[in-house]
């Protein structure tokens, strides 16, 4: 009698890991590169006689229940499937996190991530899923990898994601030698319900959230996605994210800092500096030079409504748990998280004619200070005629009136999270319908992409859509992009009469003057904006 054999894969908890430093001559598992492992890892195989299998199974579970378990597995889809890259191993041996910005046109769940492994890409790899602004959603360590080919890992639990929202899938390559393809993501690239975004191949040296792109490269990172069958497809429209802010590659690899080109304005030069154009500078902002200050020190809490602080030289900070507080004609030198902070539940703060300065190397965020003025409160505040410098995000608020300030010399520092702090002169994270007015300020972000450059003005939809914001008649220079405009979903955004200066970078920002402008949003206006030599700026 011929004995029939069947092939089974046991679903077992892993008890030992493959040596992460496996030699190049170790034998790979030929059957697994590129296959989806669904929710469970596959760790062993067994070929046994049919009769033995049936006896064993019938004593524990029925054949029908085995079938039902496997039938319940979701269908997982990916972008790159089993494609073999042309360039499988970059000439770069530095530790690096490589990622892909993607979106989907249906709701669903991410089970894990994949990457293509070439020769030399050894060591312990981890896979991660991030929100568009760098919030870690899931992380797992790859195990039992093959020598080369597609590797994949499942998270401990699935992550629900929303159609039309941008996410980043990434993996950490501790010894570099990653796969890459130049100019592969010059446009959005769709496979079924998934879309890899234009310039969506991103990286950061040393690990952490990848955010820098180069020559539209694809680094062959992928996602294991289970579509929700009841979802109605939508056209994917990527959301704005916190911009590139990571160290510049230093080796001969396919990931150096992007090269930008000079804009080509057509009008004659109108003004060479912000001072010559009558924008705020050190001569007309900050504490009065004639001030005879009252010296104070310490991190001071204000609890009484209608308090007025006038003419103080404070080495410390103000924490405001009160309404309608005014701080004016003062110098604040802070080594705290902020210089002045209005707490949730309070409103009406005014910060006028103050010089607010951080002290590099002395703050609580691994030596840095995060905010000169922060509005955590429920209503508007006024920030005017101030000279502000040496903080990571100098003015942070979703609603308020920010006018006639000189904001400059941002502090670049590696924060407690081990990454360069995102740097902005003014940052708003959306989610409010109250107005934000940014008018007649000098806003200069000198930091580079390798040391955290984000924006001069960043209107980000991190906590909700950006609405009812005015950016008018400002001098704007520097940042990754100088101005982030809110992106998809933004409405009633007025960007008017601003001067974009090339004094810091040839293209105003590292990558250009403007990003994430939504021309179709109700009430959105972009007009009268020029380069400092008079040429028009278009989004």
Share of the chain above pLDDT 90, in %: 63
Task: Encode pLDDT of 375-390 as tens digits.
Answer: 988 788 999 999 999 9
Q: What is the C-alpha to C-alpha distance for residues 279 and 272, in angstroms, rounded to an integer?
A: 12
pTM of the complete model = 0.54
267-302 burial, b at 16+ Cβ within 10 Å, e below that, comes to eeeebeebbeeebbbeeebbbeeebeeeeeeebeeb
- Classify residue 207 as exposed, middle or buried by CB count within 10 Å of its CB (0-12, 13-18, 19+): middle
Q: What pLDDT was estimated at residue 257?
A: 33
Q: What pLDDT was estimated at residue 290?
A: 73
The sign of the torsion formed by the CA atoms of 361, 365, 371, 372 equals negative
Q: State yes or no: pLDDT of 66 exceeds 80.
A: no
Region 468-485 average pLDDT? 96
Q: State yes or no: pLDDT of 24 exceeds 70.
A: no
Which run of H or of E encompasses 383?
strand 382-384
CB-side neighbour CA atoms (13 Å) of 462: 16
Higher pLDDT, 342 or 10: 342
Q: What pLDDT was estimated at residue 270?
A: 62
Task: Encode pLDDT of 518-538 as tens digits.
Answer: 999 999 999 999 999 889 999
Bridge partners (DSSP) of residue 469 are 436, 493
Q: What pLDDT was estimated at residue 263?
A: 33
pLDDT-based confidence at 408, cuts 50/70/90?
very high
φ and ψ at 355, to 5 degrees?
A: -105, 115
Please answer whether residues 181 and 217 qualify as being in contact, where contact means their C-beta atoms are separated by less than 8 angstroms: yes
CATH class held by domain 96-227: mainly beta
- The pair of structure tokens assigned to 114 is 């994949």
154-192 burial, b at 16+ Cβ within 10 Å, e below that, comes to bbeebeebebbbbbbbbbbbbbbbbbbbeebbeebbeee
Q: Which of 70-74, 240-244, 397-401 has the lowest mean pLDDT?
A: 240-244
Q: Taking each helix axis as running N to C, give the angle between helix 63-71 and helix 50-58, from 0 to 180 degrees, rounded to the nearest 10.
A: 90
56-66 burial, b at 16+ Cβ within 10 Å, e below that, comes to eeeeeeeeeee
Q: State yes or no: pLDDT of 51 exceeds 70.
A: no
Q: Are strands 167-173 and 96-104 parallel, antiparallel or unpaired?
A: antiparallel
Q: What pLDDT was estimated at residue 185?
A: 94
State the chain's mean pLDDT as an integer.
80
Identify the DSSP state of 370. Answer: -
Q: State yes or no: pLDDT of 279 exceeds 70.
A: yes
Q: State yes or no: pLDDT of 50 exceeds 90.
A: no
SS3 430: coil
DSSP 481-534: EEEEE--TT-EEEEEES-EE--SSBTTBSSSEEEE---TTSTT-EEES-EETTS
pLDDT-based confidence at 71, cuts 50/70/90?
very low
DSSP 335-357: -SSEEEEEPTT----EEES-EEE
67: left (phi over 0), alpha (psi -120 to 50) or beta: alpha
Identify the DSSP state of 361. Answer: T
Q: Are strands 96-104 and 338-342 parallel, antiparallel or unpaired?
A: unpaired
Which run of H or of E encompasses 442?
strand 442-445
Q: What pLDDT was estimated at residue 229?
A: 64
Q: What is the C-alpha to C-alpha distance for residues 96 and 205, in angstroms, rounded to an integer?
A: 4
The structural domains of the chain, with segments of one domain joined by +, span 96-227, 274-531
Q: What pLDDT was estimated at residue 74?
A: 67
DSSP 33-55: TT---TTS---EEEEEEHHHHHH
Q: What pLDDT was estimated at residue 432?
A: 87
SS3 252: coil
Share of the chain above pLDDT 70, in %: 78
220: left (phi over 0), alpha (psi -120 to 50) or beta: left
Q: Are strands 331-334 and 312-320 parallel, antiparallel or unpaired?
A: parallel
Q: State yes or no: pLDDT of 61 exceeds 60.
A: no
Q: What pLDDT was estimated at residue 23?
A: 28
pLDDT-based confidence at 148, cuts 50/70/90?
very high
- The pair of structure tokens assigned to 136 is 């870690």
Which run of H or of E encompasses 69?
helix 63-71
Q: Which of 64-78, 282-296, 388-402 has the lowest mean pLDDT?
A: 64-78
pLDDT-based confidence at 142, cuts 50/70/90?
very high
Please answer whether residues 352 and 314 qualify as being in contact, where contact means their C-beta atoms are separated by less than 8 angstroms: no
Q: What pLDDT was estimated at residue 322?
A: 95
Q: State yes or no: pLDDT of 170 exceeds 50.
A: yes
Nearest to 125 by CA among 244, 221, 199: 221
Q: What pLDDT was estimated at residue 430?
A: 87
Task: Encode pLDDT of 448-468 as tens digits.
Answer: 989 989 999 999 998 889 999
Q: What is the C-alpha to C-alpha distance for residues 333 and 338, in angstroms, rounded to an integer?
A: 10
Q: What pLDDT was estimated at residue 218?
A: 96
**CA distance to 189, 341, 381, 510, per residue, from 326 (Å):** 52, 12, 10, 37
454-476 burial, b at 16+ Cβ within 10 Å, e below that, comes to bbbbbbbbbeebbbbbbbbbbbb
Q: What distance separates the 2 farthest-apart alpha carbons in the chain?
A: 107
pLDDT-based confidence at 20, cuts 50/70/90?
very low
**CA distance to 215, 350, 393, 397, per residue, from 356 (Å):** 40, 14, 13, 16
């Amino acid at each position: 009698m011929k004995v029939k054999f069947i092939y089974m894969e046991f679903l077992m908890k892993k008890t030992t890991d493959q040596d992460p430093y496996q030699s190049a001559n170790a034998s790979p598992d030929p059957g697994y590169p590129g296959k989806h492992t669904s929710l469970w890892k596959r760790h062993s195989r067994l070929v046994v006689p049919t009769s033995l299998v049936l006896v064993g199974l019938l004593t524990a579970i029925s054949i029908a229940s085995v079938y039902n378990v496997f039938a319940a597995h979701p269908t997982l889809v990916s972008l790159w499937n089993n494609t073999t890259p042309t360039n499988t191993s970059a000439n770069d041996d530095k530790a690096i996190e490589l990622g892909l910005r993607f979106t989907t046109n249906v709701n669903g769940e991410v089970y894990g991530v994949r990457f293509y492994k070439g020769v030399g890409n050894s060591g312990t790899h981890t896979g991660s899923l991030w929100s568009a602004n760098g919030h870690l959603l899931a992380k797992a360590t790859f195990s039992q990898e093959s020598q080369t080919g597609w590797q994949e890992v499942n998270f401990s639990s699935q992550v629900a994601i929303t159609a039309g929202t941008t996410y980043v899938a990434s993996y950490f390559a501790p010894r570099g030698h990653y796969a890459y393809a130049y100019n592969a993501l010059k446009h959005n690239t769709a496979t079924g319900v998934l879309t890899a975004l234009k310039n969506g191949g991103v990286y950061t040296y040393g690990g952490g959230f990848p955010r820098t792109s180069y020559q539209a490269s694809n680094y062959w990172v992928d996602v294991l996605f289970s579509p929700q069958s009841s979802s109605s497809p939508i056209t994917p429209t990527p959301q704005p994210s916190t911009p590139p802010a990571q160290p510049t590659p230093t080796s001969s690899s396919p990931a150096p800092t992007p090269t930008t080109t000079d804009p080509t304005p057509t009008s004659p030069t109108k003004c060479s500096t912000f001072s010559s154009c009558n924008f705020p500078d050190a001569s007309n902002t900050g504490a009065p030079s004639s001030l005879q200050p009252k010296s104070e020190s310490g991190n001071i809490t204000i609890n009484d409504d209608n308090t007025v602080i006038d003419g103080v030289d404070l080495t410390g900070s103000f924490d405001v748990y009160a309404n309608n507080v005014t701080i004016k004609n003062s110098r604040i030198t802070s080594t705290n998280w902020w210089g002045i902070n209005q707490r949730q539940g309070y409103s009406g703060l005014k910060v006028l004619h103050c010089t607010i300065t951080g002290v590099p190397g002395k703050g609580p965020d691994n030596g840095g200070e995060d905010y000169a003025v922060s509005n955590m409160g429920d209503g508007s505040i006024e920030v005017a005629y101030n000279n502000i410098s040496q903080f990571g995000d100098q003015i942070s608020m979703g609603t308020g009136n920010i006018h006639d300030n000189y904001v400059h010399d941002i502090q670049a520092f590696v924060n407690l999270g081990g990454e360069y702090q995102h740097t902005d002169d003014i940052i708003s994270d959306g989610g409010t319908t109250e107005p934000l007015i940014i008018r007649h300020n000098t806003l200069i972000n000198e930091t580079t992409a390798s040391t955290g450059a984000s924006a001069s003005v960043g209107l980000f939809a991190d906590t909700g859509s950006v609405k009812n914001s005015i950016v008018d008649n400002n001098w704007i220079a520097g940042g990754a992009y100088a101005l982030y405009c809110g992106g998809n979903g933004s409405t009633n955004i007025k960007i008017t009469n601003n001067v974009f200066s090339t004094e810091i970078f040839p293209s105003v920002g590292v990558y250009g003057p403007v990003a994430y402008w939504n021309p179709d949003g109700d009430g959105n206006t972009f007009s009268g904006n020029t380069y400092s030599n008079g040429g028009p700026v278009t989004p």
